[in-house]
Every structure is written in C-alpha cells, then in structure tokens.
Amino acid sequence: MYNGKIQTLVTAGEAQNGTFVYKLASEEAYSESLPTAKDAGTYTIYFMVQDNEN
C-alpha cells in the first residue's frame, strides 16, 4: 500500500549453504540488501542464491 515512504519490495529468502542476493533493475549489481522503492508501481525483482561452500 502506498504511504509516501520507502518500502521493502520483497520478503527475504532463505537458503541452506547459500546467500540470497537481489537487484531491482537488470543493469544493477546484485546485493544482499532487499530492494526498496517509494513510488507505487510494478517492479521486477531479480534474485539468485550464491553458494557459500568452497
């Protein structure tokens, strides 16, 4: 719901032996930070799990 404030767009994922990383736009770099936005709209969130095992 729009409230004029920055809001988190997704709930954090969980993975065994890995870390979820996210990005909001296809040009951005992946980050462990959850994507946020202020304006109402439709957003595409990209995510993947990076392996923590050697």
Would you say 19 and 32 are in contact if contact means Cβ atoms under 8 Å apart?
A: yes
The answer to the question of residue 1 being in a domain is no
pLDDT, tens digit, 9 for 90 and up, residues 1-54: 789 999 999 999 999 889 999 999 888 899 999 999 999 999 999 999 999 876
CA distances from 5 to 31, 38, 46 (A): 21, 5, 22
Name the DSSP class of 13.
P
Show Cβ contacts of residue 28 under 8 Å, excluding neighbours closer than 6 positions: none
pLDDT at 1: 77
Domain count, the chain: 1
Residue numbers of the domain that contains 37 = 7-51
pLDDT at 49: 95
The answer to the question of residue 32 being in a domain is yes
The answer to the question of residue 23 being in a domain is yes
The answer to the question of residue 29 being in a domain is yes
The answer to the question of residue 19 being in a domain is yes
pLDDT at 12: 96
The answer to the question of residue 30 being in a domain is yes
The answer to the question of residue 2 being in a domain is no
Which among 44, 46, 23 has a CA at the least distance from the CA of 33? 23
pLDDT at 54: 60
